[in-house]
């Protein structure tokens, strides 16, 4: 089994011959933890310019340097799919962001609902989780994590060209209706909080013209399981799988 | 929002009027943690007789008693679907068992492959995880967790009436071929280890007459994400969703 590629997200624009200055954290990881030496390869991406093979040209615990050698992979763009979810316990919220990145969501929007368990998120930490998930899953795209917003306000101001797949736990026994939804290039998937949606929220969602309700089966899924299941349904039927 | 039902798996046969003696752990949970009193309801299931509403008739930190009052839900039987997976780090192995239970797998089989990260499992602990996941997801069925087995031996002795969905990470870009697989009532889903399958393993799988390879999309998924995604694909196309 070949050693896995060391992949790292950097903010710099990337082109051949470019020098990349590493942060203290990046240097600690590459030279302190992974024990790289000058000449060793590191694969880098910035979310816009694809993946590049770079080489270590200077090591140092506080700040080393890489030199960009050659393009090693194209820039990927996931489909224009948002994931809306109600934050839950910290570890499972982290999992949802990690999994949404792996599954190819373009944007992650934490929302508060009537029964939301958590009223606060650390947006920067979640964004960093998305970066690390992209580093590990071989992706070159990092979804943007939005600030926490109220679901009712998002729905009131919903863009007319984006459909919303509403994962309705009360829809037991129904087959997915994704294939019969009106065609749309832009989509979003909405996962409820652990306590489910309130009756007024469900009514509002079901009556909105941009909403497609789908069933995630006869068993109750935890929010993080539901996020992966919903993104799988969408990607396999309408996305890039 | 109504208080969530307290659900508990018990080994006893269940019928109206039955008395259930609680273990020390169950008593601690019901009376020490949840602070139930005589007359409070507990919903119990044994994996065979559906869900029943029982009432506390005796409390006690070391052993209380419930009395079974009335049936509250039917026995569910998931489709005859096995999940085969290569154990990974402890926390993520636990997640896979939890998620396979939520997703409605009938049997969970940890397997070792050439690149398996972990050569040992604690079968009893994983079985207990499946029980707890069933308690929390509202299920009445608990999948059986098998002992760790070698994948090559399982394949050599594969039952002729069961098809195997092989989640092939090298199959990038291909659409799922589940719908064109020969009809079968019994299925299994195979998820690889983090290092992927070896070339001989992949060849062997691809050439087996009972195997249907499917793609899980263009991004690399962690094993726990892949398990949920694969079970979603199967359940939504051939299962009980």
pLDDT in tens, A79-108: 999 999 998 888 889 999 999 999 999 999
Closest approach of B197 to chain A, Cα-based (Å):
9
Contact check, Cβ <8 Å, A240/B220: no
Query: Which of A189, A214, A223, A241 to probe the B interface (max B CBs under 10 A)?
Result: A241
Q: Where residue B173 falls among pLDDT bands split at 50, 70, 90?
A: low
Q: Where residue A176 falls among pLDDT bands split at 50, 70, 90?
A: low
CA distance A230 to A212: 12
Torsion of CA B178, B179, B185, B190, to 10 degrees: 0
Domain residue spans of chain B? 7-73, 81-238
Burial class (CB in 10 A: 0-12, 13-18, 19+), A206: middle
Facing residue for A236 by CB, picked from B76, B104, B233: B233
Q: Which two tokens stand for residue A61?
A: 């615990």
Q: Give me the helices (H) in A122-209, please.
A: 123-137, 151-156, 199-207
Q: What is the pLDDT of residues A30-83, one digit of tens each?
A: 999 999 999 999 999 999 999 999 999 999 878 899 999 999 999 988 899 999
* B30: number of Cβ within 10 Å: 22
Closest approach of B150 to chain A, Cα-based (Å):
19
Looking at the predicted structure, is the pLDDT value of residue A217 above 90?
A: no
CA distance B108 to B100: 8
- For the ranges A151-160, A169-178, B59-68, B84-93, the lowest mean pLDDT is seen at A169-178
CA distance B112 to B96: 15
Looking at the predicted structure, is the pLDDT value of residue A136 above 50?
A: yes
Give every CB contact of residue A146 below 8 A, 6+ residues apart in sequence.
Answer: A107, A108, A109, A110, A123
Helix (H, G, I), strand (E, B) or coil at A235: helix
Name residue B203's beta-bridge partners: none
Q: Are B48 and B74 in contact, with CB atoms under 8 Å apart?
A: no
Output the CATH code of domain A7-73. 2.40.240.20
Facing residue for B103 by CB, picked from A103, A136, A225: A225
Query: Which of A129, A172, A232, A237 to probe the B interface (max B CBs under 10 A)?
Result: A232
Mean pLDDT of A166-175: 70
Query: Which of A74, A135, A176, A228 to probe the B interface (max B CBs under 10 A)?
Result: A228
Closest B-chain CA to A92: B95
Closest A-chain CA to B174: A241
Output the CATH code of domain A81-238. 3.40.1280.10
Q: Are B50 and B74 in contact, with CB atoms under 8 Å apart?
A: yes
- The confidence score (pLDDT) of residue A172 equals 60
Phi, psi of A226 (to 5 degrees): -60, -35
Contact check, Cβ <8 Å, B139/A219: yes
Q: What is the pLDDT of residues B119-160, one digit of tens each?
A: 788 999 999 999 999 998 888 999 999 999 999 999 999 999
Question: Which residues in chain A are closer than 8 Å to B222, comparing Cβ atoms?
Answer: 98, 102, 136-137
Mean pLDDT of chain A, nearest integer: 90
Closest approach of B168 to chain A, Cα-based (Å):
13
């Amino acid at each position: 089994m070949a050693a896995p590629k060391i992949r790292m997200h950097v903010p710099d624009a990337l082109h051949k011959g470019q020098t990349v200055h590493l942060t203290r954290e990046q240097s600690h990881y590459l030279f302190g933890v992974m024990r790289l030496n000058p000449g060793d390869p590191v694969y880098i991406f910035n979310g816009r310019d694809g993946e590049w093979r770079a080489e270590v040209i200077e090591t140092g615990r506080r700040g080393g340097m890489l030199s960009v050698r050659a393009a090693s992979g194209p820039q990927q763009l996931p489909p224009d799919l948002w994931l809306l979810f109600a934050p839950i316990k910290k570890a499972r919220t982290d999992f949802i962001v990690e999994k949404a990145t792996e599954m190819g969501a373009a944007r992650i929007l934490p929302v508060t609902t009537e029964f939301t368990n958590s009223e606060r998120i650390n947006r920067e930490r979640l964004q960093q989780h998305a970066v690390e998930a992209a580093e590990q899953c071989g992706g070159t795209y990092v979804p943007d994590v939005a600030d926490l917003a109220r679901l009712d306000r998002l729905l009131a101001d919903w863009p007319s060209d984006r459909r919303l797949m509403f994962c309705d736990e009360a829809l037991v026994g129904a087959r997915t209706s994704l294939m019969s939804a009106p065609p749309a290039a832009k989509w979003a998937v909405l996962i409820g909080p652990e306590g489910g949606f309130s009756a007024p929220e469900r009514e509002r969602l079901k009556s909105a013209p941009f909403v497609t309700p789908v069933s995630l089966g006869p068993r109750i899924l935890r929010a993080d399981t539901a996020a992966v299941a919903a993104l799988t349904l969408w990607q396999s039927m309408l996305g890039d799988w």
